[in-house]
Structure formats: structure tokens, C-alpha cells
């Protein structure tokens, strides 16, 4: 597992890791401290991943979460995307006390 520690006051990302939490049967194990962050569409390319585990300091507003993610993935800066928490779209001024899954969603393009 790799850890990245950021100390900037504006940044709420404590650490990050891959999905190499393995239980004794070899199955992936979710670390309770970690939040699953998913990237969709072109954001997958900009971040280089479709999913990662990050340790985020809650409580946090969606706006600050965005700044945090942009700090960790500079390629996200300036990109237009919305943030859904546990499959519900959230406004930037919403304060999150916890999150099981964060989804970063650029403009939809189905059909």
C-alpha cells in the first residue's frame, strides 16, 4: 500500500491506498477508515484510475472535498464535474459527516 500525507490546511486528505487490503482467504477487504472514490468518463483518464481508496478527514464540505481531490489529482483542476455521495448528488455547500462512496461525475453522455 502506498500512503500520501498532505499537510496543507486546505487539504483534508490524510492518506490513500490501493485495494490491497486482503483478508485471510485472499478476498479484498475494505478498510473502515477508507472511502471509495470513483471517477467516471474522461475523469478516469485524468486521474489514471476508475476507483481508489482515500482516507478523508470528515466532516468536510463537498466544496472542500473537491479542492482536496483536485490537490491529489491536479489534472482535475478546472474540470466540470459533480460529486455524488453514496449515490446521491450533493451540492457544494453540503457538509458530509461520512461517506462510503464518493463518485465524481462529469457531464452525462448516454443514449
Partner 1 sequence: MSIFVDGGVDIQLVANAVAELNRDRRVGGQNLFVGQVRADAHPEGVVTGIEFTAHKEMADAAVSAFLKRIVGHDHVEPAESAAASLSDTPDENPDGPLPRVFIRHGLGHVPVGGAPLFIAVGTERRDEAFRICREILEALKSEAPIYGKELLDSDGHKWKVNQ
One of 11, 36, 38, 94 touching partner 1 (CB under 8 A): 38
- Nearest distance in Å: CB 58, partner 1: 21
Whether omega before 99 lies within 30 degrees of 0, making that bond cis, reads no
* Complete DSSP assignment for 52-105: EEEEE-SSEEHHHHHHHHHHHSGGGTT---EEEETTEEE-TTPEES--SEEEEE
Q: Does 17 bind partner 1 (CB under 8 A)?
A: no
Q: Does 26 bind partner 1 (CB under 8 A)?
A: no
Q: Does 42 bind partner 1 (CB under 8 A)?
A: yes
Q: Which one, 3 or 108, has the nearer CB to partner 1? A: 108
Amino acid at each position: 500500500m502506498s500512503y500520501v500525507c498532505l499537510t496543507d490546511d486546505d487539504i483534508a486528505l490524510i492518506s490513500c491506498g490501493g485495494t490491497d487490503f486482503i483478508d485471510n482467504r485472499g478476498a479484498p477487504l475494505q478498510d473502515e477508515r477508507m472511502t471509495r472514490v470513483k471517477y467516471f468518463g474522461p475523469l478516469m483518464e485524468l486521474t489514471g484510475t476508475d476507483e481508489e481508496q482515500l482516507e478523508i478527514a470528515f466532516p468536510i464540505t463537498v466544496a472542500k472535498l473537491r479542492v482536496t481531490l483536485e490537490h491529489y489529482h491536479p489534472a482535475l483542476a478546472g474540470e466540470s464535474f459533480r460529486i455524488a455521495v453514496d449515490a446521491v448528488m450533493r451540492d457544494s455547500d453540503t457538509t458530509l459527516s461520512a461517506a462510503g462512496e464518493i463518485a465524481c461525475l462529469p457531464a452525462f453522455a448516454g443514449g
